[in-house]
């Protein structure tokens, strides 16, 4: 009598696919930045030898219309440059705050105090100067987001 050899089937369990996909989904959602500023309309200026920023926690943007944003939220549409400078400096670093509540930069160590600047290329000096000054006054490390020059 000849006994038939049992065939070994090695198939990937289809049931596990859903679980794998959901784990990947959670992974990407955690990695994605909470503050999204992709809706801001701006065109970067050109630069050479560009580098990636150390951290991407804080971003300040000025769009085509000259509106200033902090982490994707409008800072002010009507305030003058001095008011924007004060608002931004206070939001980034508040020396009178309690420990842990000293603004977005707070007591972060050097090297982790990066502030991304996404400024539209034609923005006039009167609009972007207060932003640069506020970031430097708060002890931030400026990172101008630029486009590689061809």
Residues of this chain that interact with another protein (CB under 8 A) are 14, 17-18, 20-22, 24-25, 28-29, 31-33, 36-38, 44-53, 56, 114, 116-117, 119-126, 128-129, 132-133, 136-137, 139, 141-148
Residue where the block lists tokens 């050479």: 48
Residue pair 41/64 in contact by the 8 Å Cβ criterion: yes
Q: Which is nearer to another protein, 3 or 32 (CB)?
A: 32
Q: Which is nearer to another protein, 10 or 32 (CB)?
A: 32
**Phi, psi values for residue 116, rounded to 5°:** -75, 130
In the bound complex, what is the minimum distance in angstroms from residue 92's beta carbon to another protein?
A: 13
Count CB atoms within 10 A of the CB of residue 142.
14
- The 68-70 sheet, strands edge to edge: 73-76, 68-70, 58-62, 114-119
Q: Which is nearer to another protein, 50 or 74 (CB)?
A: 50
């Amino acid at each position: 009598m000849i006994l038939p050899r049992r065939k070994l089937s090695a198939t990937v369990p289809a049931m596990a696919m859903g679980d794998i996909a959901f784990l990947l989904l959670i992974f990407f959602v955690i990695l994605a930045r909470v503050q999204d500023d992709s809706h801001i309309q701006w065109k970067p200026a050109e630069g050479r030898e560009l580098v990636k920023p150390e951290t991407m926690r804080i971003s300040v943007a000025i769009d085509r219309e000259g509106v200033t944003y902090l982490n994707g939220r409008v800072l002010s549409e009507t305030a003058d440059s001095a008011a924007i400078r004060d608002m931004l400096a206070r939001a980034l670093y508040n020396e009178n705050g309690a420990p842990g509540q000293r603004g977005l930069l707070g007591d972060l160590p050097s090297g982790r105090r990066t502030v991304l600047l996404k400024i539209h290329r034609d923005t006039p000096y009167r609009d972007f100067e207060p932003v640069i000054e506020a970031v430097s006054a708060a002890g931030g490390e400026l990172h101008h987001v630029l486009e590689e020059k061809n």
